Amino acid sequence: MKEKLESIKKEFDAEIEVVKNLNEAENLRVKFLGKKGLITLVMPMLRDVPNDQKREMGMLVNEVKNHIQTCLDEKVKQLNEQEIENQINNAEKIDITLPVETGVGSLHPRTIIQKEVEDVFISMGFVVDTGNEVETEFNNFDAVNVPATHPARDTQDTFWLTNGEVLKTHTSAAQNRILRKYGTNAKVIFPGRCFRNEAIDAGHENTFFQIEGVIVNENVSVANLIYFMKEMLSKVFKKEVEVRLRPGFFPFTEPSFEMDVKCPFCGGSGCSTCGGSGWIELCPCGMIHPNVLKMAGIDPEKYSGCAFGLGFDRLVMIKSGLNDIRALNSGNLKILKPFKLNI
C-alpha cells in the first residue's frame, strides 16, 4: 500500500506541473480527490494492512491527501492571479488625454444670466433677496396700490388658491415685505418666478421670470433710476448702451416710465431682434408711489424711492438668441447645449 501511495503522489506531482488553466486543475482534483478518485479508491486497502501498520498507513494516506489538496489550492491561486493579470494586459487601452463627450448637462440660460445680473447689482451695493411664489392678496395687489376696485387687476388675471392666496403675478408682490424689512435704507433686488393666466404664444407664457429692484432713501430721484439701470444694462450687454424713458402707467409708481435700450445688436438701425424699431423695451420703472411707501411704514414726506422691473425672460431670449419664450420652459436639452461652457 505504501508503494501505491508513493506512486499516486509521484503521478500527481508530474501532472500538476503541466496544468495550464482552472478547468485542468478541477479535472485533476476530481481524478485524485473525487468520490472515485485515486485517494478514495486506496482507502479500502487499509482493511488488509496488519494492525501494527494501520496507524502508519493511515497517517501516510492523510499526508498524501493533504499534499495533493495544498498543491491544488496553490495552483488555483496562481491561475486566478494569472487570469486577472491577463485581463489587465489584454484590456482596451484608454487615452485619458483625449476629449470625451460625457453627456453632462448645463446650467439653464435663465440661471446663467440671472447670476450675471445679480453680480452686477451686488457690485453696485445692492442686496439680493427673494420673494414668495404664493402670496397674499394684500401683498400681490393692495400693498402695491391695486385695491379690489382698481381696473389694473383685470390686466393681471392670475391663479387663485382655495385659501384666498394667489400665485404672484409680478415680483412687485414682494415690495411691501422688502420695504418693511430694509426700511429707509433699502437697496435691494428680488428676482422670482411669476404666474399669469395668459394665452401662450411666442412672446407670452403663463410662467415667467422677472427681476425687480427698489431704492429708498432721502432725495432719491429719477436720475438714480437712470444711472443704475443704464449701468446694469451696459455690463450685461458688455458694451455702452443708450437708454430712453417713455411715459408709462403702473399703479405702484408715480411718475411711471418705460425704459428702452437702443438695440445693442443693430445700434438702432433696426433688426429682427428689436422688430425694426431700433429700441428694445426692457425695464418698466418709476418713483415709488407715496401710498406704497405709507403701507410699508415709510414717511413719503421725508423719504422717496424708485422701483424698477426687468423683463428678465426677454433679456434671456436676447442674450441667448432664442425667439420663442416657450423654449425656456420646454425642457428641450438642445437649447441648453450651447451653454455648457458656462458651467
Closest by CA to 63, choosing from 18, 6, 3, is 6
pLDDT (0 to 100) of residue 301: 94
pTM of the predicted model as reported, rounded to 2 decimal places: 0.64
The dihedral through the CA atoms of 218, 222, 224, 229 has a sign that is: positive
What phi and psi, each to the nearest 5 degrees, are found at residue 281? -80, 120
pLDDT tens-digit profile, the chain (343 residues): 677 778 888 888 888 888 888 888 888 888 888 888 888 887 777 777 777 777 887 888 888 888 888 998 998 999 898 888 887 777 667 677 777 666 666 788 888 889 999 999 999 999 999 889 999 999 999 999 988 888 777 767 678 899 999 999 999 999 999 999 999 999 999 999 999 888 888 777 889 999 999 999 999 999 998 898 888 888 888 888 788 889 988 889 999 999 888 887 787 888 776 778 888 888 889 999 999 999 999 999 999 999 998 888 888 888 877 778 888 888 777 776 766 544 4
Distance CA 168, CA 159 (A): 8
Adjacent-strand bridge partners of 261: 243, 280
Q: Which three cell numbers stand for residue 320?
A: 441667448
pLDDT (0 to 100) of residue 103: 67
DSSP string, 104-159: -----HHHHHHHHHHHHHHHTTPEE----SEE-HHHHTGGGT--TT-GGGGGG---
DSSP string, 22-44: HHHHHHHHHHHHSTTSHHHHHGG
Whether domain 109-342 has CATH 3.40.50.11890 = no
pLDDT (0 to 100) of residue 322: 78
Distance CA 77, CA 85 (A): 12
Distance CA 217, CA 302 (A): 9
pLDDT (0 to 100) of residue 310: 86
**What residue spans define the domains of the chain?**
2-90, 109-342
pLDDT (0 to 100) of residue 342: 45
